[in-house]
Structure 1
Amino acid sequence: MIKNKILLFFLFFGTMCQAQTSHFLYYKLNGCASKKAILYNVRGESSVGIDTAYLQQSGGFAFSNIEKYPAGMYVVSFNDSVYTEVILNDEDIVLEANIENILMTMEVRKSVENQILFGYWQYAIMIKDSVNKYNLTRQKILQATYGNENKQSLKLYEDINRLNDKLYDFIDEEKKLHPESFAPKLLLSYQIPSYRRYLAGNGNLPYDSEKEYYWNHFLDNVDFSDPRLLNSKVVYVTISDFITNFGGPATTKNYNNIISKVMALANSNEEVYQYCLNLFIKNFDNTIWEDVFVYLIDNYYTNSFNLNESIRKYYVNKSTIIKNLKPGKKAPSIILPDSAGNLVDLYNIKAKAKMIIFYSSDCPHCEEAMPDLKKIYNDYKNSGLEVIGVAIDDEASMWKNNIIKDSLTWISVSDLKGMSSPIVNSYNIWMTPTIYILDKKDIIMSKPKGPAEIQAALLQVLY
């Protein structure tokens, strides 16, 4: 029976090899009970199933015609917890491993890309084990010496650095041996440049701080001109880590600087540029960082390569709306019916200060904020404050019952169109509650984020 299975595999293998223009992936996972394997395409944080293979008599799974997929990192999944990352790049792939320890038992029978990939991972695990042992010994020494270095601890530190350098050396060697391969470039992209190695280079001058070095070199190992890297997690992970490391303190200036640095590198390839731009837009659209979103649209989106006209109009319009909602601009018109059906015009309300509260009757955050908002209204209404509560609701009974339940005595209006209301667009409402403070001429004074900011704005307008 075993001989028959082996014969079946080689018959299959031989048949596949006869096709000069097609490639296959054959994966035998010993001990796996699954009868099905799914091949996933990886792109940043997303993965999409693109092919399915069923268990063959040979005991493995075969995906055919994989040459149709672009080069990159893919995932072969057997169930939610058992999967393997593999590189597809216009070559045949034959893998075998044991389910108890897939990584360390992996044998790459065919595929230069995956021989490099798994060779690195297996080597990295051995290096990491040694580094952990050295680190543990070094920590014990430092504890015994109350943090003071001695010859033994310094020697261990040098040994740790030497071991870590071997991972860089592994990648460098594979790059020399296989200059056209994707695997070395992908592996290098995951490596953060080393300031220590930089200082060891001939003629390299030190930076004022280690942080300054990493700001200038954090992205050096990612080739933004190579769109193949998009078919992996590496660009997404690197940009996310860059934001995490250099986005603090969280300010518009810091985020804009990060965007400028990444987009300058991404400008070398249309596909990479569009991916990075969309990633930033996804991160900053509908957030408190409205100025960052505007910076993205005005400086990069309108200059991108292939614009979808309808999407371009949407983003340009949204950027314009946000800019028109800044302090000093006149608030957009609001003419909506109150709970009795009478139209209320924002511009006709006479008050020294107006507070517009956009809320929803079924919003828990709004419910939590109501006691503070009601107190502010009661404290300042005799000084000239009027509140206009704009309910982003679509059910009249819910809206009216909420007014009664919360004893809302201010002006309450709604067109009962929910998030489809034109007012949502004109005031860029993406979360509730959202609050605007206006002066008596309906000029926007502030978009406060809590009771303290509301009171500070009202004191400025009323007194």
Structure 2
Amino acid sequence: VYLLRIAGDNRKIVDTATTDQTGSFEFLPDKNFPVGQYAVVSGPTQMIELIFNDENIRFVTTGSSDRDQVQIIESVENMIYYDYLSLKGETLYKLDLLDPILQYYPKPDTFYSKTLAEARALQSYLNQRVETLIGNNPNTLAARFIRVDKPVFADPSLSKKEQKAYLKSHYFNDMDFLDTLLMRSNILTSKIVGYMGLYQKKGMTKQEMEDQLLMAVDTVMDKSFVDQKMYEFVIGFMLNGFEHIGFERGLEYIANKNMLNEFCVNSDRKKELENKLELIKKLALGKTAPGFEAVDMKGDTIRLKDIRSQTTLLVFWASWCPHCSETLPLLKNYYDPQHTGRLQIVAVSIDKSKSDLTKAIAENGYDWINIGELKGWNGPIVNEYGVVATPTFFVLDKDKKIIGKPVSMDELKNFLE
């Protein structure tokens, strides 16, 4: 059984324990153990979230997921928190059942009026119970988390468009961006994700979706600017998320619009983010790709500027990467080593082992240009391109300008076909 510390979308193992024959286990943190949100994990999908605030925690559960029944035996914080989670879950479930009626049932009908009254009553009851929980336990960490996590309700009589407009305006009303303890949980990041979801709807084009998301990014950056640590945390979270989904416009927008330089303290995190943001600017679409010179696996000197091809595909990969093993063989369908005037592929490996790399190239028949820096994630080309995952693709035009950074084979095909 693992104990994980939660900080936004990050999870870090901080302790382990072994269960006895009854399934019992125990963690014994030291006296300086940080307060915040933690997760007890016993399997890939088996996780129970808990709040630690310098008190003993005892619980029993019918399973190993927060979807199973969790009974808190000892811990005021978690009794409050799980009381709230149960109440929220039950209320949202009932409201979801009523929603289709409120949207589609004829409004003059008595049944609609009764349904509307019930929906309003459910919203009011949850709000009142939450305020009571917070009011009776004002100094608890649970109260701080609950106030932020509490659902924001628009009047159920409004249209979906009107509800969404209301939620956009009031979503962060109970959010205190000065409360940096929220960074020790997933409450803050979940709130941000929920807010960005308000700007999406079915049927949007990619351009429309991105335009809307940038509006949400603006609001989140503005709201979090009240504290340096909070701002750094929020900027880092959005950068990681946008990198994961390949939202290049979002990355470039943050790189150009952020106000990190307005903060006076040159923290390590600030420097780290500033370096990352500069790299994003350098690798933005339309920019000339960083040049490099390296010796390939055949012993030939390769200079990026000397490659003569309409399209150059830079691939960062590793022999031990399962996604690479699925994707790279597909590239052979588009590559002709005898005619590279249309497409040249330069594959830069993250491998440290030359024998593993040589074997993978030979077994898979990768006939393109193969470069092995053999320095893992610390290779000069790898660092120059800010590579943090494999496979990573950069598509360059004949002038070596970056025209694409696809995150999937489907996206990559658009440049190769």
TM-score (ref. length: structure 2): 0.68
State the match for 1:56 in structure 2. none
Query: Which of 170, 178, 185 does residue 225 from structure 1 map onto?
Result: 178
Query: Which of 231, 236, 242 does residue 195 from structure 2 map onto?
Result: 242
> Residues 51 and 142 of structure 2 are in contact (CA less than 8 Å); yes or no, is this contact kept in structure 1?
no
Query: Which of 338, 344, 347 does residue 387 from structure 1 map onto?
Result: 344
- Structure 1 counterpart SS, 2:155: helix
Q: CA deviation at 1:423?
A: 0.6
State the match for 2:22 in structure 1. none
Aligned positions of 1:345-424 closer than 5 A: 345-378=303-336, 381=339, 384-392=341-349, 393-424=351-382
Q: CA deviation at 1:262?
A: 2.0
CA distance in 1, matches of 2:276, 2:245: 13
Tell me the percent identity.
21
TM-score (ref. length: structure 1): 0.63
Q: CA deviation at 1:85?
A: 5.1
CA distance in 1, matches of 2:413, 2:42: 55
CA distance in 2, matches of 1:351, 1:253: 34
CA distance in 2, matches of 1:452, 1:39: 38
Aligned positions of 1:432-443 closer than 5 A: 432-439=391-398, 441-443=399-401
Query: Which of 159, 163, 169 does residue 118 from structure 2 map onto?
Result: 159
CA distance in 2, matches of 1:404, 1:87: 53
1:103/1:449 Cα in 2 relative to 1: closer, same or farther (>3 Å)?
Answer: closer
Which deviates more from structure 2 when the two are superposed, residues 394-403 or residues 424-433?
394-403
User: Is 1:336–2:294 an aligned residue pair?
Assistant: yes
Q: CA deviation at 1:424?
A: 0.7
Q: CA deviation at 1:458?
A: 6.6
C-alpha distance after superposition, 1:72-123 (max 9, x if no partner): 6789x8999998956859xxx8999998999889799xx7x8897677678x
> Residues 69 and 88 of structure 1 are in contact (CA less than 8 Å); yes or no, is this contact kept in structure 2?
no
> Residues 192 and 221 of structure 1 are in contact (CA less than 8 Å); yes or no, is this contact kept in structure 2?
no
- Structure 2 counterpart SS, 1:195: coil
State the match for 1:194 in structure 2. 153
> Residues 98 and 106 of structure 1 are in contact (CA less than 8 Å); yes or no, is this contact kept in structure 2?
yes
Q: CA deviation at 1:165?
A: 0.8
1:105/1:160 Cα in 2 relative to 1: closer, same or farther (>3 Å)?
Answer: farther
Match of 2:279, as an amino acid? I
CA distance in 2, matches of 1:85, 1:453: 40
> Residues 236 and 273 of structure 2 are in contact (CA less than 8 Å); yes or no, is this contact kept in structure 1?
no
- Structure 2 counterpart SS, 1:216: helix
Match of 2:359, as an amino acid? N
CA distance in 2, matches of 1:452, 1:84: 36
Q: CA deviation at 1:345?
A: 2.3
State the match for 1:168 in structure 2. 127
State the match for 1:325 in structure 2. 283
Q: CA deviation at 1:320?
A: 2.9
CA distance in 2, matches of 1:350, 1:329: 18
Q: CA deviation at 1:213?
A: 1.5
State the match for 1:293 in structure 2. 251
User: Is 1:210–2:163 an aligned residue pair?
Assistant: yes
CA distance in 1, matches of 2:370, 2:333: 17
CA distance in 1, matches of 2:92, 2:314: 62
State the match for 1:308 in structure 2. 267
Match of 1:164, as an amino acid? Q
Indicate the structure (1 or 2) with the bigger Cα radius of gyration.
Answer: 1
Paired residues in the alignment total 390
CA distance in 2, matches of 1:246, 1:121: 26
C-alpha distance after superposition, 1:415-453 (max 9, x if no partner): 3333321011222333215242330x4344444556776
- Structure 2 counterpart SS, 1:378: coil
> Which residues of structure 2 form unaligned runs of 5+?
18-25, 63-67
- Structure 2 counterpart SS, 1:377: coil
CA distance in 1, matches of 2:92, 2:402: 62
Match of 1:410, as an amino acid? W
> Residues 50 and 78 of structure 2 are in contact (CA less than 8 Å); yes or no, is this contact kept in structure 1?
no
Q: CA deviation at 1:215?
A: 1.7
1:292/1:328 Cα in 2 relative to 1: closer, same or farther (>3 Å)?
Answer: closer
> Residues 246 and 254 of structure 1 are in contact (CA less than 8 Å); yes or no, is this contact kept in structure 2?
yes
